[in-house]
Structure formats: C-alpha cells, structure tokens
Amino acid sequence: MSSYIAINGRFRQRRITGVDRYAYEISKRLTVPNFFITPSYSLGRVAGHLWEQLFLPARIHTRDLLWSPANTGPWSVKNQIITIHDASVYDHPEWFDPAFALWTRLSWKVLAKRVKAIITVSNFSRERLNFHLGIPEGKIHVIHNGIGKPFEPQPQKMIERVKEKYGIKKPYFLFIGTNEPRKNLVGLTQAWENLDLKSHSLFIAGAKGKVFANQRHHEVQPIQTYVSDEDLSALYSGATSVINPSFYEGFGLTILEAMACGAPVIAADISVFREIFDGAVLFFNPHHPNELAHTIRRVIEDKSRTNVLSEKGLAHASRFSWDESARRTQTIFEGLA
C-alpha cells in the first residue's frame, strides 16, 4: 500500500453542506494512515482552484494516494481518487455561473482520464457521469451516502427548545438546502401560497448558493441561513413533514437525515429519489406545484398514513451508515494504493 492516503482538505475551510458532510464523515472513519492537505485559510473560488492545482500537489509524496472528496482535484496528480457527486453541471449548465460550469466540465474531462478511480453516490449519478465523460466501467464506483449522530429522533424538550429559538409557533413543514435553481424553492413557495394554510407554517433553512446562475429562483429568501447539526436534528424530529422538491440531485442526503430523525418525507418524483427512497416517501411531480399542495394537505389530514410513513422512513434509514460507506471507500483505497 502507498505510504499514506493524502486527503484534499479544501472542503475543511467551508461551512458544511451535503458534499462537505460526506467528506467529513468518511475521512474521520478511515483507519488507514492518512493526512489532510488543507489551505491555511478560507479561499475564494479562483484562489481555491489555484491552490488546488499548484500548491496541493507539491505536498504529496510520490507514493501517497490522494483522495479528493468534494468534486474537484489537481490535474497533475494521477495517483488520485476523486468523488464526483452528480453530473448537474453537464445536465443543466444553465443553473450555474457560466465560468464555473465551463471550468468544472473541463476539469472533470481531464480528471476522468487521469485519475485511478472515481467514486459517486448513486447509480443515477454513475449513469449520467458515464454518459458525459465516457468513464470505463471498472473505473467508477457507487457508494451511497450514510447517516449517523446526531441524526436520530430527538426528545420533545429538545424540539421545543429549537422551536422557541427559531420562533416557530405552529406545527411546521421543513425545507433544508441551499437556495439554488435545482432545489425548486419557487415551486415549494408557490404550492404553499396556494394552500393558504393557517394551521401550519413553512420553515426554510439554507444559504444562497455562490456558484449558481442569477435566475428568478433567488428571489426566494431563506428564513434561516444556517442551522447547526444539533438544531437540525431537532427541527427534523419535530416537523410535520420534511419536503424536498428538487428537480435534480445526486443522492438526497437531507431526505435520509429527515428519515433517521423520524420525520415523514414528501419528495420530488425524480429518478435518483426513486432509486434511493422508493417506498419510504410520498412522491409528487416537482413541475406541478398544485400536486405538491395536494400532497401537503394529505399529510395534514391523514395522520395514520403519516405515522406509517415515519416508521417506514426510520426503517429505511437504518440501512445506511457512514461506517459502511467509509469501509467500502477504504476498500477501494486499499485496492488501488
């Protein structure tokens, strides 16, 4: 085996989102010798790419295997495994800042040819990456995301504390995610307005994306821009339902987190959610806000069905763990080192 697994630690200077959570959860469970290569301070997009391409490679020994877990990596390092979470920059470039989309597509074409292996998080993402990049069958590996603490059902006192902290006075539906075009916040808020509910509220948490096209979608403003993991698990646990209305995802980690906390989930009927969560969520067509509104009303009115959905979600989430994801990832490292 190589001397060490070097981990591209550029993600460690960012606030945690889904991709970064994956990197943190896997890296802290690795049992093979490893070390992080991390910028000394937070870098902007351009400076981050320059650091990754020019400075990171100089800190890797020739025998070390580099793992880049967050969609980007240095072109010059062939002894590298990269995790690419989805192919949205190819499938929907209009959702992204043009310069970011152009750079990412070019970078992935280079990396797909040079690195030893690519990891992705769903069969859907593997198929889309294969379609755009022509990756040989044995070079790309699917390892699902996992779940772990603190994402588990929380006691009522924790739920009440968090509701008081965020000023939630009614039963609530919950959306967690970055405010970007593919998340379909416009459709969600339109459905909510159509319902005109007095009995429940809608809580939206998530920051505006920095690399996404300046479209009308960004007129939707999140109520809360950041929620800690401890607060998030309580918000999930106390929600009437968690809604994920996305047009496109590589996996759907917020759905898994919500299920693990016992929350019933309403999800867009898209390929990857069918692959990962079929049978454990209520699906709706994300292009039809009225269908989402109807599904929300069903959740409110049919409590017995909602309880069954919660139980199915808990059982489904128990099949996923970061420990297993890390074990399978490490097996790939050991096979290629």
- 287: domain CATH number? 3.40.50.2000
The total number of structural domains that make up the chain: 2
In-domain check, residue 151: no
210 lies in the same domain as 272: yes
Burial class (CB in 10 A: 0-12, 13-18, 19+), 219: exposed
86 lies in the same domain as 205: no
290 lies in the same domain as 330: no
pTM of structure? 0.92
The pLDDT score that the predictor gives to residue 322 is 98
In-domain check, residue 187: yes
In-domain check, residue 194: yes
In-domain check, residue 205: yes
Sequence letter at residue 21 = R
- In this structure, of 71-85, 178-192, 206-220, the range with the lowest mean pLDDT score is 206-220
- In this structure, of 11-25, 186-200, 205-219, the range with the lowest mean pLDDT score is 205-219
The pLDDT score that the predictor gives to residue 214 is 47
- Parent domain of 280: 156-317
In-domain check, residue 199: yes
The pLDDT score that the predictor gives to residue 218 is 37
14 lies in the same domain as 68: yes
Q: 64: pLDDT confidence band, cut at 50, 70 and 90?
A: very high
The pLDDT score that the predictor gives to residue 212 is 39
132 lies in the same domain as 271: no
Distance CA 115, CA 289 (A): 42
Non-local CB neighbours of 309 within 8 Å, separated by 6+ positions: 264, 265, 280, 281, 282
21 lies in the same domain as 167: no
Q: 44: pLDDT confidence band, cut at 50, 70 and 90?
A: confident
166 lies in the same domain as 182: yes
CA distances in angstroms from 171 to 152, 201, 238, 327, listed in the order given: 20, 6, 8, 39
In-domain check, residue 263: yes
The pLDDT score that the predictor gives to residue 246 is 98
Residue for token pair 């152009």: 102
